[in-house]
């Protein structure tokens, strides 16, 4: 029998609210005796019933957060994880709280954890925008003078919206079992799942979230400290393509050639896996999903285990973000591996969107590839198409970035964008490979 679900924030699978201001609701509009009694008291004495309702609301709030208190204290106080990461773990795995820090700030304040463990603020939280900035617009009258910064025109509403709904960031979304109860879990039951989210968050924030950034981005990809596109991105792009070629060979009953293709992919990966590159977090999930699909057809090849073993040779220490990610994935059971890969993929997309935005070829390709392997129920396809069109026009319009920004004068890197655009424009629940 599955453990009971923690009462609290409504899950995306349920259309009924869990409670109102005077108690719990029953399906089909029925009311409990407690609700009927409180309703009668409210009509008889509105002021007194208001105080009773507020006291009942506070008791239900305390009851909701009590089972999660120990887990939140472990993550926030003992492991000293940032509050954003604590909220992601509690919502994604246990569905406790909401996707906002208001309730967490209130709970942590009442638990007296602000004195020694202040809430971690983002790196740019202390930056105050100055309206009087020096802008050189080419005019001799205003050149070198402090003038008010001109506002950029706002993009359309479709482009402003996030492509992936927050409901997608739920480990139990596509599972048949209800969410786990924090109070009934063994201490290490979901530690590998938490390790995946922690490693992804630390890897991306370590590259793009620091004040002294080694890497930056433009609309077409990642730029090194010199402002140039690193050629390693092209190598990372070819690795999933080799896996896709191997899957086609397997469908054609050419298993020996498929094995050769996989081995060549691993040999190419061995040359670059020791370098921390932002393209790793983009293409790692594609490799895992492609190889996991091959694993299901030809388990004797064990391509996913060979991938993890190779990466652990380069990053054996769990203190490293990549080492923690691979070690956590190896500890996950086969029946849950696909679900863990999904939440890790969504976590990478969400974190990159927060730091560099999603009007970026790399992020849009990640979303499009996710759309091909998982359900598109919570993906806003119109917003995805609008973002692809915006990026496409910025590259190809006169005076735009141009095809040369892709790293070469040929069009070999334009087809991925076009194929992702066509895939996003498809209707239905999404094509799964």
The string over 336-353, giving b where at least 16 C-beta atoms fall within 10 Å of a residue's C-beta and e elsewhere, is ebbbbbbbbbbbbbbbbb
Largest CA distance in the chain: 82
Predicted confidence (pLDDT) at residue 58 exceeds the cutoff of 80: no
Question: Percent of the chain at pLDDT above 70?
Answer: 60
Greater confidence (322 vs 120) lies with: 322
Q: Is 42 exposed, middle or buried (0-12, 13-18, 19+ CB in 10 A)?
A: middle
Calpha distance 125→321 (Å, rounded): 24
Q: What is the pLDDT of residues 338-380, one digit of tens each?
A: 999 999 999 999 999 888 888 888 888 898 888 888 877 777 7
Greater confidence (230 vs 38) lies with: 230
Residue 422 pLDDT grade (very low, low, confident, very high; cuts 50, 70, 90): low
Predicted confidence (pLDDT) at residue 263 exceeds the cutoff of 90: yes
Predicted confidence (pLDDT) at residue 267 exceeds the cutoff of 90: yes
What is the pLDDT, as a whole number, of residue 195? 94
- Residue 172's φ and ψ, nearest 5 degrees, are -95, 10
Q: What is the pLDDT of residues 61-110, one digit of tens each?
A: 666 677 778 888 888 888 889 888 988 888 888 877 654 556 677 777 66
Calpha distance 295→289 (Å, rounded): 10
What is the pLDDT, as a whole number, of residue 155? 55
Q: What is the pLDDT of residues 147-182, one digit of tens each?
A: 555 555 555 555 666 677 777 888 877 665 566 666
Calpha distance 149→312 (Å, rounded): 49
Predicted confidence (pLDDT) at residue 215 exceeds the cutoff of 50: yes
Q: What is the pLDDT of residues 300-345, one digit of tens each?
A: 889 999 999 999 999 988 888 999 999 999 999 888 999 999 999 9
What is the arithmetic mean of pLDDT over 34-59?
A: 62
Residue 214 pLDDT grade (very low, low, confident, very high; cuts 50, 70, 90): confident
- Smallest Cα–Cα separation from 121: which of 30, 203, 19, 211? 211
What is the pLDDT, as a whole number, of residue 268? 92
What is the pLDDT, as a whole number, of residue 266? 94
Predicted confidence (pLDDT) at residue 146 exceeds the cutoff of 70: no
What is the pLDDT, as a whole number, of residue 5? 42
Predicted confidence (pLDDT) at residue 392 exceeds the cutoff of 50: yes
Calpha distance 351→353 (Å, rounded): 5
Calpha distance 21→57 (Å, rounded): 7
| Alpha-carbon separation of residue 166 from 227, 289, 356, 429 (angstroms) | 33, 22, 18, 18
Calpha distance 329→199 (Å, rounded): 11
What is the pLDDT, as a whole number, of residue 189? 81
Residue 116 pLDDT grade (very low, low, confident, very high; cuts 50, 70, 90): very low
What is the arithmetic mean of pLDDT over 245-273?
A: 92
C-alpha triplet 343, 348, 352: angle, nearest 5°: 150
- Smallest Cα–Cα separation from 432: which of 378, 385, 369? 369
Calpha distance 357→365 (Å, rounded): 13
SS (H, E, C) the chain: CCCCCCCCCCCCCCCCCCEECCEECCHHHCCCHHHHHHHHHHHHCHHHHHHHHHHHHHHHHHHHHHHHHHHHHHHHHHCCCCHHHHHHHHHHHHCCCCCCCHHHHHHHHHCCCCCCCCCCCCCCCCCCCCCEEECCCCCCCCCCCEEECCCCCCCCHHHHCCCECHHHCCCCCCCCCCCCCHHHCCCCCCHHHHHHHHHHHHHHHHHHCCCCCCCEEECCEEECCCCCECCHHHHHHHHHHHHHHHHHHHHCCCHHHHHHHHHHHHHHHHHHCCCCCCHHHHHHHHHHHHHHHHHHHCCCCCHHHHHHHHHHHHCCCCCCHHHHHHHHHHCCCHHHHHHHHHHHHHHHHHHHHHHHCCCCHHHHHHHHHHHHHCCCCCECHHHHHHHHHHHHHHHHCCCCCCHHHHCCCCCCCHHHHHHHHHHHHCCCCCCCC
- Average pLDDT of the chain is 72
Q: Is 113 exposed, middle or buried (0-12, 13-18, 19+ CB in 10 A)?
A: middle
Calpha distance 231→246 (Å, rounded): 24
Q: pTM of this prediction?
A: 0.71
Predicted confidence (pLDDT) at residue 4 exceeds the cutoff of 50: no
């Amino acid at each position: 029998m599955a453990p009971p679900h923690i009462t609290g924030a409504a899950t995306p699978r349920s259309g009924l609210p869990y409670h109102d201001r005077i108690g719990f609701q029953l399906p089909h509009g029925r009311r409990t005796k407690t609700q009927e009694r409180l309703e009668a008291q409210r009509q008889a004495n509105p002021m007194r019933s208001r105080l009773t309702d507020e006291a009942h609301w506070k008791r239900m709030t305390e009851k909701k957060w009590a089972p999660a208190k120990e887990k939140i204290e472990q993550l926030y106080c003992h492991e000293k994880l940032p509050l954003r990461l604590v909220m992601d773990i509690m919502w994604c795995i246990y569905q406790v709280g909401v996707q906002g820090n208001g309730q967490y700030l209130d709970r942590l304040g009442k638990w007296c954890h602000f004195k020694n463990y202040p809430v971690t603020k983002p790196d740019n939280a202390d930056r105050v925008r100055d309206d009087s900035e020096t802008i050189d617009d080419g005019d001799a009258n205003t050149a070198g003078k402090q003038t008010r910064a001109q506002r950029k025109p706002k993009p359309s509403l479709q482009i402003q919206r996030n492509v992936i709904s927050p409901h997608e960031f739920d480990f139990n979304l596509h599972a048949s079992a209800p969410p786990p109860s924090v109070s009934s879990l063994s201490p290490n039951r979901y530690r590998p799942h938490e390790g995946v989210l922690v490693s992804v968050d630390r890897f991306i924030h370590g590259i793009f979230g620091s004040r002294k950034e080694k890497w930056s981005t433009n609309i077409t990809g990642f730029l090194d400290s010199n402002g140039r596109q690193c050629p390693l991105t092209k190598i990372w792009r070819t690795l999933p393509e080799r896996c896709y070629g191997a899957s086609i060979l397997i469908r054609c009953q050419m298993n020996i050639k498929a094995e050769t293709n996989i081995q060549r992919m691993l040999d190419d990966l061995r040359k670059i896996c020791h370098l921390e590159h932002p393209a790793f977090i983009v293409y790692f999930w594609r490799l895992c999903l492609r190889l996991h699909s091959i694993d299901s057809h030809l388990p004797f090849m064990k391509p996913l285990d060979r991938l993890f073993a190779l990466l652990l040779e380069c990053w054996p220490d769990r203190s490293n973000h990549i080492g923690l990610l691979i070690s956590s994935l190896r500890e996950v059971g086969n029946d849950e591996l696909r679900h863990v890969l999904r939440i890790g993929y969504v976590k990478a997309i969400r974190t990159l969107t927060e730091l560099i935005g999603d009007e970026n070829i790399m992020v849009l390709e990640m979303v499009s590839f996710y759309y091909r392997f998982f359900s598109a129920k919570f993906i806003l396809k119109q917003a995805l198409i609008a973002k692809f069109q915006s990026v496409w026009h910025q590259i190809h319009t006169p005076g735009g970035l141009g095809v040369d920004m892709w790293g070469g004068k040929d069009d070999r890197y334009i087809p991925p964008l076009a194929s992702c655009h066509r895939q996003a424009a498809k209707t239905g629940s999404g094509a799964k490979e």
